[in-house]
Every structure is written in C-alpha cells, then in structure tokens.
Amino acid sequence: MSTDDISLNDNQYLTFVLEDELFALNIGSVREVLELTSITKVPRTPEFIRGVINLRGRAVPVVDLRMKFGMGETRRTVNTCIIIVEVELDGESTVLGALADSVQEVYEMESSQIEPPPRMGTRIKSEFITGMGKSGDRFIVILDINKVFSAEELNLAADAVGISGTVERREGTADAGV
C-alpha cells in the first residue's frame, strides 16, 4: 500500500461487534474479512489464541478478541467473521486473524470526532484504545491493534507455554476486563 492510500484511509474505520459493543479498527491495518472457517487448535497454547486457519496456503493464527477482553468464548453464528489484520510484532510484520461476532461497515470519522480514551470505566484496558468515536448515540471503541496484539499480550514469553500458563493468562485477562 502506498503512502497516498494510507492518508486516504486514515479516517476510515472498520466497525465490528463483540458481544453487544461496537469496536473499530483503522482500515489501514485491516487486510480482509473472512467468513468463519474451520480453525485448527494448537495444543499447549493460551486459549484465547484459537488456533490457525489456512489463508490461501498460509497458516494464520486466530485470536478470540472476546476471550482476550474477558467476554467469554466467541460462539459460532452465521455472522461470525475473521478480520485479517497486519500487525507489527517485535518489528516484524505479522498477519493475524481476529474473531468478531459480526462486522458492520466501513465508517468515516474525522479526528475531531474522536475523543481520547477514558482513563477508567471501559471494559478493556485503556492502553488498547486509541480513542472513542460515536455513531448515532452509540460509542465506538477504536482499538490500537498493535497494542492488543503486542508480543507481551500474546503471551509469547517462553515460560507462558503450557497448560499452567494458559490458566494464569485467563485470570489475567479476566482482571483486565473488570
């Protein structure tokens, strides 16, 4: 993508629903949206990383955002989607999938319409949020995808591998969600 495209897309956001809340990602980091396909579970890894899917011959890990944010496991419905995003992981560009209950639309918001993240009162860690937008009378939580999918958040430290690591992780996410 050229720099021109990025500036063009700078105020465009893909909105999606987790549970009943509206979230958004900057369109620049979104590659595509897929229907939910079969996910192959990878054993001995944190549960919120649901496994891998075959994206045109590539193994792409899929993260359950709801579990990550402490909203419980994503259930399979006709609307369930996988949003394929590109994030920087330890300086490497990595392709990941994020599960969403449903994907809404591409929504345009000027930066003046976006408010800074509240310091408390949100269900998810405020550091994951770049700002709050509005659609009608609904709030849109704009996520900082690189923070949500940072190496620490994905629990990549070597000691976290294994069953016990998974348990700890889940507790950790639950705390963050409260």
Residues found near another protein in the complex (CB under 8 A):
37-38, 40-45, 49, 51-54, 57-61, 89-90, 92, 94, 96, 151, 154, 156, 158, 161-163
Q: How far is the CB of 32 from another protein (least distance, A)?
A: 17
Q: CB under 8 Å to 93, separation ≥6 — which residues?
A: 86, 87
CB of 1 to another protein, least distance (A): 21
CB-wise, 18 or 49, nearer to another protein?
Answer: 49
* Minimum CB distance to another protein, residue 41 (Å): 6
Nearer to another protein, 55 or 176 (CB): 55
**In this complex, which beta carbon is closest to another protein, that of residue 57 or of residue 121?**
57
Of residues 150, 155, 151, the one with CA closest to residue 173: 155
Report d(CA 104, CA 45) in Å as an integer.
30
Q: Which single residue is written with the structure tokens 């609904």?
A: 138
Query: Could you tell me if 94 and 86 are in contact, meaning their C-beta atoms sit under 8 angstroms apart?
Result: yes
Which residue reads 């918001």 in tokens?
109
Q: Judged by CB, which is closer to another protein: 37, or 77? A: 37
